[in-house]
Amino acid sequence: MAILIAVLVFAVLAGVISLIGYRMYARPGRLYEQLSAQGTASLSGDPSEEKAVATVIEQVGGLLPLDPEDASVLQRDLVAAGFRSPNAVLTYLGLRTVGFVVLVLLAVVLRTSITSNPILQIVVPVAAAFAGWFGPSFILDQLIEARHNRIRRGLPDVLDLMVICVEAGLGLDQALQHVARELMEVFPDVSSEIEIVHLEIRGGKRRADALRSLAERTSEDELRKLVAVLIQADRFGTSIAESLRTHSDFMRVRRRQDAEERAAKIGVKLVFPIFFLILPSMLVCVAGPGMLQVFKYLFPLMRQFHPQ
């Protein structure tokens, strides 16, 4: 049992270190090499092998029956998380299926090593099946929420730069292009979405429709409000710079209020950790020596006064 736990801990640590190394070193290195003029091979291995693995996963995902409405909802969630590939749905379903099968097989093989209880030996494969099937959905929800937070955090600065561009004499389309180019490294999520809006407008799409597509694509409330402000300012001919400045001030006030709300909840959230974790330790440190003295001197003294 100890060897199995050590192997699992080693596997988890190796996976975390590999993920951090890929996200911080291998992936940026691949991007820089793809953008360079040399056109050398990527740092993460042979691209043909990665393509073969992705193809197999997509084929596995294509074997699952999926309702068109569910597929559209899943496609919208994946786009909201930042995955815009047309094969993202099949890849997601393939990863979900592969994870389900692998975890169930591992649970069936290792259940006798994990526990000797026959009831738990049945529970472990069931729990692994639930984790393999519903785990990707939970991870996708977390990715969507994290991306929404990044978009919400970068919107005030994006609006400030848009105000400067509009007041400098640029039109809204040129301002969107300039903001997307200048803030791509600081706020890549917002900048990429704004760049898509600019490309749709250049492709012949109406500005209002492109902005509505932005709101539907991201499904973020603050962007929906910004889209409504831009559409109304464009429709009624009001000052876009003034509208953007007012909305930027509103977002900064809203962000400060959210921070104050989270700070006010800290006291309530700390009650249970203090009561169950910190308070017992303090009682042991403060009252422990006194209790030891009581056990050492008082109990022997009390035994001498036994009733006769």
pLDDT for res 23: 62
pLDDT tens per residue, range 197-218: 888 888 888 888 888 888 888 8
3-state DSSP assignment of residue 168? coil
pLDDT tens per residue, range 163-181: 888 888 888 888 888 888 8
pLDDT for res 10: 67
pLDDT tens per residue, range 99-116: 888 888 888 888 777 777
The single residue listed with the structure tokens 């409504």 is 228
Q: Which amino acid is at 91?
A: T
Provide the residue ranges of all domains of the chain, joining segments of one domain with +. 149-263
Rounded Cα distance, 218 and 216, in Å: 6
Rounded Cα distance, 176 and 198, in Å: 6
What is the value of pTM for the model shown? 0.67
**Of residues 61, 117, 109, the one with CA closest to residue 89:** 61
Domain 149-263 falls in which CATH fold? Answer: Receptor-associated Protein (1.20.81)
pLDDT for res 214: 87
pLDDT tens per residue, range 38-96: 433 333 445 565 667 667 777 777 777 777 888 888 888 888 888 888 888 888 888 88
Burial of 195 (0-12, 13-18, 19+ CB in 10 A): middle
pLDDT for res 7: 64
Q: In the numeric block, which tokens belong to residue 6?
A: 């050590």
CA–chain centroid gap for 282, Å, is 37
**Is 18 a residue whose pLDDT tops 80?**
no
Rounded Cα distance, 90 and 86, in Å: 9
